[in-house]
Amino acid sequence: MTTALNMYESLVAAEEKIQPVPLALKVLPSMALKTLRIKLSKALKCGKATIRLWVRHTNGDLQELGFEHDQQVLDWLGIMDGSDFVFSVTEELH
C-alpha cells in the first residue's frame, strides 16, 4: 500500500509564508526519510541540493525532520496518508 504526501514549498524557512506546490508524492510507509528527500529532489529536478523537511501536524504546528532522522522509516515517524510536508531547497554551488 502506498501513502500520498502533500508537499508545500517554503522559499526561505518554515516560518515564512508557505507557497503551495502542485506536488503529491506516492511513497511506501517503509521508505526511509532520506529516500523521501532523494525522491523529492528528483521530482523537483533540482540536482545537488539540501532539502529541509517539516511535517505539519493537525493543529497547524510544524516540526522539522532533521537529518538525524534520515534512517527512520516514515511509518515509525508517524507519517500517514495525506500528511502535509513543508520543504526548503538550497541548491549547492559547484
* pLDDT tens per residue across span 42-92: 888 877 888 888 888 878 788 889 999 999 998 888 887 778 888 888 876
* d(C-alpha 34, C-alpha 45), whole Å: 16
Assess contact for 33 and 53: CB atoms under 8 A. Answer: yes
Contacts (Cβ under 8 Å, ≥6 apart) of 9: 18, 19, 20, 21, 86, 87, 88, 89
Q: What is the pLDDT of residues 9-31, one digit of tens each?
A: 654 444 444 555 567 788 888 89
pLDDT of 41 higher than 80? yes
Res 49: pLDDT:
80
pTM of the model: 0.75
CA 22 to chain centre: 14
| Residue for grid cell 503551495 | 20
